[in-house]
Structure 1
């Protein structure tokens, strides 16, 4: 993957100790638990190091980058040192929960908190559909918007390529967030209760959409739907009872809605019967 530019921030606790931001361009790695292999890994460092030395002696230490992780080789003997990491510029990090868009440029998020971090492979204008129990307010980077209707998309927002962008959503009971390039018609699958799912088609475009959607079920049967006059920003949904053998099944809607059709997969686990 190409280099990802991170966001300003600081590191959380590490298995080997802590990373302390002394100045905007200087990190101190305080080692309190020496790893057995004498290598310290600092994940999510987006700023390139200039040099890495032992703090008290100035002795240069061996280091390398593994993706967005900095790996420093500690001396094999002696007390665990404090490591000084000088940076080429201001500290920028890649948060551990950063999500990259899939091949269709779509993010499919089930957030564990109010903020997620997104990375796009290429620049695009995107819209956001939040599945929540209240009208959401969305903050993407330094842009914000509130939904006039909780069942419609919000946007567009410009999304740059290769830049970590925070997405914050204020709403009650957020179940899922879909982010897609403007112009996309997206099919998604959502749990609605025991033994039932909902197939949802959302128009992230600027023009009215029409097409067909189909879903093959785990028991070998299938469902087929057509939709007409789906307005920009709107969604249409169909309930689907789910039957089939026990185990894990990956479902994906077959969607035909023009050149920008996309479909997010969904995995279910059916319990054993009897």
Structure 2
């Protein structure tokens, strides 16, 4: 059985061909290009197969689950067969852009489309922080895990939104409003440090996902040979749902480098790493 519960959907075209849903519980794999190792991998199948057979002959085929992928061993003949996959329930998939929360239960997303797909390691109430540029007077419905909040554009990018009851090990879609370039999701109670690059500097931001005000100390550790105009900051009285930030200019060797803020704001402190390009 797949570890993650998927969502209704369809499969994208595959390197070997296509997967077609013939009925609610029947999937056909049309093999147009036979893989060199004679194994077909269908990524993100969350529904357990009942049986897998060659469509033309009814011959049973060897298959296995590899995480959330279905792997089918094709028959030895040189033909490109059609594989019939009977499912134990309705088709549910794990989209390829699904992102599992890190060890702190945090998602730090740079969305590439209008929908993000989140998977929680464990059930928790979470809140969402959108970063970007939207019209302050616009109106948005933020939906996640069966709960919806209506907010203005100003509220959307100025404070956290929630709570949302995230279930464990289930794909949950989140609509991303136009103009949003970063999405932070964290368990309620978390105080989260994140890094946001600019043209000539980076901004270290602390967001309070908790229900009470927060205080703490922030440090941006640097590798040998690096320098920054500022590296340490303190904050006090950070209200629930709000953020505070400090800009600093970095110098260092060219290339991509991962930075992580050191945050001391109590036991629910968390820090999201970010790769900056110099």
TM-score, length-scaled by structure 2: 0.92
Match of 2:50 in 1: 50
Q: Distance in 1 between matches of 2:114 and 2:12?
A: 18
Report what 2:233 is aligned to: 225
Find out whether 1:252 has 2:260 as its counterpart.
Answer: yes
Aligned residue in 1 for 2:159: 152
Measured on the aligned residues, the alpha-carbon RMSD in Å equals 1.7
Q: Deviation of residue 30 (structure 1)?
A: 1.0
- Asked if 2 retains the 8 angstrom alpha-carbon contact of 1:106 and 1:179, the reply is yes
Secondary structure of 1:147's partner? Answer: strand
Correspondence 1:168 to 2:152: no
Aligned residues of 2:215 and 2:235 also touching (Cα < 8 A) = yes
Give the whole-Å Cα distance in 2 for the aligned partners of 1:32 and 1:224.
58
The DSSP-based 3-state class of the residue aligned with 1:216 is: coil
Q: How does 1:211-222 map to 2 (within 5 A)?
A: 211-218=216-223, 219-220=226-227
- Alpha carbons 1:127, 1:154 under 8 Å: kept: yes
SS of equivalent residue, structure 2 residue 20: strand
* Cα distance in 2, alignment partners of residues 81 and 142 from structure 1: 41
Question: What's 2:207 paired with?
Answer: 202
Alignment of 1:87-126 (within 5 A): 87-126=87-126
Unaligned runs of 5+ in 2: none
TM-score by length of 1: 0.93
Aligned partners of 2:111 and 2:176 also within 8 Å: no
Structure 1 unaligned blocks of 5 or more: none
Q: 2:244 aligns with which of 236, 256, 265?
A: 236
Structure 2 residue 85 is matched with structure 1 residue 80: no
Q: Taking structure 1 as reference, are residues 132 and 147 closer, same or farther at Cα in structure 2, changes over 3 Å only?
A: farther
> What is the match of residue 20 of structure 1?
20
Distance in 1 (CA, whole Å) between partners of 2:24 and 2:188 is 37
Q: 2:188 matched to 1:182?
A: yes
| Partner Cα separation in structure 1 for residue 276 and residue 170 of structure 2 | 32
CA distance in 2 between partners of 1:193 and 1:67 (Å):
40
Q: Which moved more, 1:147-156 or 1:27-36?
A: 147-156
> How far does residue 129 in structure 1 lie from its aligned partner after superposition?
0.3
Which position in structure 2 is the counterpart of 1:6? Answer: 6
